Amino acid sequence: MLLINYDFYDIHFVLIMLREYPEKPYNAQIIQNIIQILSEPQIGNSLDDNNIRKNLRTIETIEKENFRWVFVDNIYTYGLKVIKDRFCYSFLEKAFRKLLECAVNEDYEQLEILADALHNVPILFAEDCKNFKKAVKIQFAQYNSIYKANLLKELSN
């Protein structure tokens, strides 16, 4: 499945919600759904829109107050861009697997800090950031410092 830039903006908002409400019981399901979408082969000629929103609507326990945007389909009339770069999908899939581990282990502090570090990454991909490594180095600094990690290297491999 190919995603469009607006799907990546929706992933950005999912990360913001994970950062804001890391302890919500439905987070693991949200994360699993995103992983499933990102792990699908990026092939084919048909293109659908609102993929993230449509998928998240299937989660019965999701709070409609916090995820009101999920229940509205956007009609995109301009600025539509298909994301074909496999690196984008792979990077985000690994990031969401790391988030899932935090959610399953109920490590809400790490989930919050990781979601904070990652929240701009989908936008960088959607807008085809020319200096991705430099941009995420700044975004990942706090997480790397706290968890003695190299998140860029970990998610790039």
pLDDT in tens, the chain (157 residues): 899 999 999 999 999 999 999 999 999 999 999 999 999 988 776 678 899 999 999 999 999 999 999 999 988 888 889 999 999 999 999 999 999 999 999 999 999 999 999 999 999 999 999 999 999 999 999 999 999 999 999 999 9
* pLDDT at position 45: 66
Cα torsion through 127, 128, 132, 138, rounded to 10: -10
- Distance (Å, rounded) from C-alpha 141 to C-alpha 33? 28
d(CA 112, CA 99): 9
- The domain ranges of the chain are 3-156
Q: Please give the pLDDT value at position 49.
A: 87
What pLDDT sits at residue 46? Answer: 64
Averaged confidence pLDDT in the chain: 95
Q: How many residues does the chain have?
A: 157
